[in-house]
Structure 1
Amino acid sequence: MPVHQRPFLALGLRLGAALAMSSLYMLVKLVHQMGVSLPEIIFWRQAGALPLLLGWILLRGQMWQLKTTRFKSHATRSLMGMVGMLANFGATILLPLAVATILGFTTPMFAVVLSALFLREKPGRWRGLAVALGFAGVLVIARPGAMPISPIGALVGLASGFMVAVVSIQLRDMGRTETPLSVVFYFSLVGTVLMLPTLPFTMTHHTPLQWAMILAMGSIGTLAQLLLTAALRYGPVSTVVVMDYSSLIWTTLYGWLVFHQMPPASTWLGAPLVVAAGLVIVWRERVRARAAATPPEESAPAGRVPRGR
């Protein structure tokens, strides 16, 4: 059923999601440094969410929220989400937190490229310039040949930005008919089933502290997914995605306070380019959305042809 748009609520939810996701990435990096492998981290991140979600649903008597006729859409979203999670967590482990976050900001650029390739949508000069500017910032950060950061880590970070673009489009579509709880529940369920066969080969003995960190990781990750999904239910991607840039503040603080690690100097030269590119794309998307909602006779004075976007 249609959902009324509530832009301020969507922005607040996305802001909370940015803080929760930053906290999750900090925990992933910390747990990995404590000796837990990446496949096991992903398994517990997904499996840990299931009892939390089921308990919440049962306590509120809302099992109806899990009813769906879009199992195929849930499966596709879950598969894409798992690939994205692997890239996100991999970049977090291989790179300083702030660098991994900035490379994740390439999502709007990839969204423009995907629209041009698959939707035959001409990007226009503003968005085309923004894409070029953003990827120039990535080159400044990565500095190919100078090796300030892991080349593999940089590629994984770019892959995470690409996958977030794909998943965001899927979530926006599913949010029209599916509840946030159902989207997160089936994502966790499919992810748990996919990662379960790896557990005998990757799981090791854990101390009480490690189990506490794993539990916190699952809880915060579940909260982040709920907030992300709910934000896209009440507002378009082009509006809420601007709140993602606040995560750079949290990951920089976590990197400094928890890991005693600051990003290389090249990061602060390239980061403004990447952020500026994302903001330009967000601005153009809002302009396009307003133009599409305006009747043709009001969109431009008589005799004038609107400029390309």
Structure 2
Amino acid sequence: MPSARPLQNQLLGIALRIGAATGFAFMAAMIKLGYEAGVSMPEAVFYRFAFGLPPLLIWIAWSRNFTVWRTQRPLAHLWRAAAGLSAMTLAFAALRYLPLAEAATIGFAAPLFAVILSAVLLKEKVGRHRWSAVAVGFLGVLIVMRPEGSHLPALGLAMAIAAAFGVGIVTITIRQIGATDDTQTIVFWFTLSGMLAAGMLMPIYGKVHDGQTWLILLALGGFGGLSQLLLTASLRYAPVPVIIPFDYSQLLWSVLLGWAIWETRPALSTWIGAGVIVLSGLYTIYREHRLGREKPRAVPPL
């Protein structure tokens, strides 16, 4: 894969990022529709990888990066795959219990966990500004969860929080692997490892589905795989601080899809909490940019 980046085209980068966020929202909707059609969670995870693999292979072939499988850190990829697969499984499971908007909102806490983990595990210096942003962000999460009388299932909330924590682990792991391996290698090994691991459960959980359900599964994997490629491609055309704020457009799509398909409307606490999380996230992104760390969220785990 060529090391030189093409000329900056920020509008294209923003468009790609919005496309990725939109695709991830549709993927989440397909997961919930799949559950309603009788799809098990292991099946949803497996087909996310299986039907997401073709877009990845097309991307690799188009870029002529035929050494994508080579890596200097196989054990690091194994750890990234284990952490990413765990986070994905928890996120998919949470969607069985939570509306799209609430699940997406809590998922945005992942960068906050990444800041904490970078301080604890990587011994990076985190100043009072970013610690304050983290505290405010978790206040937003608490507002969404409404622990004093939440209308949301506790199990779903716990899974969503655990998934966000897992994404935080993946974020700092990718930061480390990215020092030696390129993006395509990271995505390739995660996709392959995840598909093989989830495939081991298919003899137990795999089912025969009708045509409509197969279309849902195909859309699930297609949206997930394509969105990951769009998100990664966006980094080639615009700086991280410019495009990452558009990740939050996923929340808007989650609200619209939840309303259109299930007639669910987020509670006022969800809107308030989402606003607090988004503001804290944007400030965290700003501080990361000021400190010269622009890569932590280059590759999403889902």
TM bin (shorter chain):
0.7 to 0.9
Moved more, 161-170 or 13-22: 161-170
Are 1:21 and 2:28 matched, yes or no?
Answer: no
Moved more, 148-157 or 7-16: 7-16
Deviation at residue 63 of structure 1 after TM alignment: 6.0
Q: Which residue in the other structure is 1:271 paired with?
A: 274
Are 1:66 and 2:68 matched, yes or no?
Answer: yes
Q: Which residue in the other structure is 1:210 paired with?
A: 213
Gaps of 5+ in 1: 291-309
SS in 2 for 1:119: coil
1:94 to 97, 102, 112: 97
Q: Which residue in the other structure is 2:129 paired with?
A: 126
CA offsets per residue over residues 26-63 of structure 1, 9 Å max, x none?
A: 111111111101011111111223345446656x5936
Q: Which residue in the other structure is 2:265 paired with?
A: 262
CA offsets per residue over residues 241-291 of structure 1, 9 Å max, x none?
A: 32211111111000000121112232122221111111111122222239x
Moved more, 34-43 or 154-163: 154-163
Q: 1:13 to 1:181 in 2, by over 3 A?
A: same
CA offsets per residue over residues 101-156 of structure 1, 9 Å max, x none?
A: 11011122112211221233342222122111111111111111413211121121
Structure-2 separation of matches of 1:141 and 1:151 = 12
SS in 1 for 2:123: coil
CA offsets per residue over residues 171-226 of structure 1, 9 Å max, x none?
A: 45545654544433322211111112211221222001111111111111111222
2:146 to 143, 147, 151: 143
Q: 1:228 to 1:170 in 2, by over 3 A?
A: farther
Moved more, 265-274 or 46-55: 46-55
Structure-2 separation of matches of 1:56 and 1:207 = 30
Structure-1 separation of matches of 2:241 and 2:168 = 11
Is the Cα–Cα contact under 8 Å of residues 88 and 156 in structure 1 kept in the other structure? Answer: yes
Larger radius of gyration between Structure 1 and Structure 2? 1
Are 1:166 and 2:199 matched, yes or no?
Answer: no
User: Which aligned segments of 4 or more residues in structure 1 are displaced greater than 6 angstroms?
Assistant: 233-236
Name the TM-score, length of structure 2 as normaliser: 0.84
SS in 1 for 2:201: helix
Amino acid at match of 2:289: R
Q: 1:110 to 1:239 in 2, by over 3 A?
A: farther
CA offsets per residue over residues 57-108 of structure 1, 9 Å max, x none?
A: 56x5936142412333332322222112112212222211011111011122
| Two-structure CA RMSD over aligned residues (Å) | 2.7
Are 1:75 and 2:88 matched, yes or no?
Answer: no
Q: How many equivalent residue pairs?
A: 289
Is the Cα–Cα contact under 8 Å of residues 14 and 244 in structure 1 kept in the other structure? Answer: yes
Identity %: 39
Amino acid at match of 2:161: L
Question: Where do residues 275-294 of structure 1 align in structure 2 (5 Å cutoff)?
Answer: 275-289=278-292
Structure-2 separation of matches of 1:121 and 1:19 = 33
Structure-2 separation of matches of 1:61 and 1:278 = 33
Is the Cα–Cα contact under 8 Å of residues 13 and 231 in structure 1 kept in the other structure? Answer: yes
Structure-2 separation of matches of 1:122 and 1:278 = 18
Q: 1:50 to 1:289 in 2, by over 3 A?
A: closer
Is the Cα–Cα contact under 8 Å of residues 143 and 272 in structure 2 kept in the other structure? Answer: yes
Moved more, 131-140 or 230-239: 230-239
Q: 1:173 to 1:7 in 2, by over 3 A?
A: farther
Is the Cα–Cα contact under 8 Å of residues 2 and 176 in structure 1 kept in the other structure? Answer: no
SS in 2 for 1:93: coil
Structure-2 separation of matches of 1:24 and 1:3 = 32
Are 1:42 and 2:45 matched, yes or no?
Answer: yes
Amino acid at match of 1:68: R
Structure-2 separation of matches of 1:102 and 1:51 = 29
Q: 1:233 to 1:183 in 2, by over 3 A?
A: farther
Gaps of 5+ in 2: 294-302
Moved more, 226-235 or 91-100: 226-235
